[in-house]
């Protein structure tokens, strides 16, 4: 870790503190949550799932595997 710190001039060291600060920042921005229990079906994390229902299906030019994200 000290080699990375000196090479990349990290502002937060050691690496554990950097990771902790990053996770806190994601939570503060509402981009992540810290769960105290395991997921048990209440949160759909399948590919291509839009919980708001507002997004259009991805465009064909993206070359995505339709079966991977489609419910058909």
Sign of the torsion formed by the C-alpha atoms of 34, 39, 43 and 44: positive
Q: Is the pTM of this model over 0.85?
A: no
Residue 14 banded pLDDT, cuts 50, 70, 90: confident
* Percent residues over pLDDT 90 in the chain: 10
Q: What is the pLDDT of residues 41-56, one digit of tens each?
A: 777 777 777 777 888 8
Instruction: Report domain extents, the chain.
Output: 1-34
Residue predicted with more confidence, 37 or 7: 37
Is residue 72 pLDDT above 70, yes or no?
no
């Amino acid at each position: 870790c000290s080699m990375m710190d000196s090479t990349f001039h990290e502002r937060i060291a050691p690496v554990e503190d950097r990771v902790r600060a990053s996770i806190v920042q994601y939570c503060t921005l509402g981009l992540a949550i810290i769960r105290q229990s395991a997921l048990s079906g209440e949160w759909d994390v399948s590919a291509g799932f839009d919980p708001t229902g507002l997004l259009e299906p991805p465009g064909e030019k993206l070359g995505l595997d339709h079966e991977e994200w489609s419910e058909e």
